[in-house]
Amino acid sequence: MPEGNVIHRLARAHDRDLAGRRLAVSAAQKRFAKEARALDGRVLDRAEARGKHLFHHWRHGPIVHIHLGMFGDFYRRELPAPPLRPTVRLRLASRAAVWDLIGPPTCEIVTEDEYAAILARLGPDILSARPDARRALERLKRTDAPIAHALLDQRIVSGIGNIYRAEALFLDGLHPLRPASSLTMDELEKLWTTVRRMMRRGVARPRISTIEPADRIRARRAEPDGRSFYVYGESLCLRCGSSVRSFPLSGRTMYACPVCQPAASVPRARK
DNA sequence: CGATTATGATTAA
DNA sequence: TAATCCTAATCGC
């Protein structure tokens, strides 16, 4: 269940374990068996993350496009490789490690043109080295949909998912139903910075935690194990203890604190 | 053992 | 909005 941070993390790991090497490629399912045979014994040049899309660029041509959707995941297996389980769509094995791809709605070989078309419909990747923030922010400024909805629109900005939209809006004290166009440019810039900071931390660490250093002590008191989120999936706000509101928004569950994210500027007309 | 749920997105209606 | 694609873990019975 990956957001952009996971995809970027995977691209790094694949570069480390697999890139520049001749790989043994296999598949347990029929779906990708023919493609796997075609790739077997070839060299992977590099892995590339773009938003929530992962691309494998193989030497002399083929590009594999992978999207993990809601359930897909890559598992790193230690050597020697365990037997292929029936749900493995694609296995990539080098002398360093084995990676198994499970449950992706998308795993396909694409042409250069198809690759370009996928990139063309993505907004700036908030995790890329130098994302075009201006372009994304101006687009948000022209969007009347709720800010929490707009943040998930991959054509506006790519990489953000359901956890980060909830947590970033919380940290910036923004009500999720405010129209994106009603935010000031300052608020939008601050939001961009907040999401980028959170997500970059999510690339560096194996587990997502959105909690700022200043709140960590409180988090530990709330749950000795160390809590990961302010409002996402929680029933009580980490900051003020109010009961967290959860409701469907853009087909997902949104979480927000009614006190820390005041509704003051939300117009009555909504839905 | 079936129902439910989960960090996603496209297509059709 | 609903149906579709995909897997695994959890919960109630």
Instruction: Indicate which CATH number applies to the domain containing A20.
Output: 3.20.190.10
C1'-nearest nucleotide to the CA of A87? C7
Distance CA A207 to C1' C1 in A: 34
In the sheet that holds A106-110, the strands lie side by side as A21-22, A43-50, A53-58, A63-67, A106-110
A163 and A187 belong to one structural domain: yes
A157 and A228 belong to one structural domain: yes
Cα–Cα nearest to A2, from A54, A47, A60: A54
Euclidean distance between CA atoms A1 and A210, whole angstroms: 16
* Count: domains in chain A: 2
A145 and A117 belong to one structural domain: no
Residue A126 lies in a domain: no
Instruction: List chain B nucleotides near protein: any atom < 7 Å from a Cβ.
Output: 6-10
Residue A128 lies in a domain: no
* pTM passes above 0.85: yes
Domain boundary, last residue among A68, A93, A121: A121
Distance CA A82 to C1' C6 in A: 23
A137 and A258 belong to one structural domain: yes
A31 and A116 belong to one structural domain: yes
Residuewise pLDDT in 10s, chain A (271 residues): 899 999 999 999 999 999 999 999 999 999 999 999 999 999 999 999 999 999 999 999 899 999 999 999 999 999 899 999 999 999 999 999 999 999 999 999 999 999 999 999 999 999 999 999 999 999 999 999 999 999 999 999 999 999 999 999 999 999 999 999 999 999 999 999 999 999 999 999 988 889 988 888 777 777 766 778 999 999 999 999 999 999 999 999 999 999 999 986 555 444 3
A146 and A114 belong to one structural domain: no
A21 and A93 belong to one structural domain: yes
Protein residue at shortest CA distance from C1' of C4 = A105
Q: Is A127 exposed, middle or buried (0-12, 13-18, 19+ CB in 10 A)?
A: buried
Distance CA A105 to C1' C12 in A: 29
Residue A158, classed as helix, strand or coil, is strand
Instruction: For residue A55, give its domain range.
Output: 4-121
A164 and A76 belong to one structural domain: no
A151 and A257 belong to one structural domain: yes
Residue A214 lies in a domain: yes
Domain boundary, last residue among A121, A152, A184: A121
List, chain by chain, residues whose CB lies under 7 Å from nucleic acid strand C.
Answer: A 29, 31, 69-72, 85, 87, 89, 102-105, 251, 271
Instruction: Indicate which CATH number applies to the domain containing A233.
Output: 1.10.8.50
A160 and A206 belong to one structural domain: yes
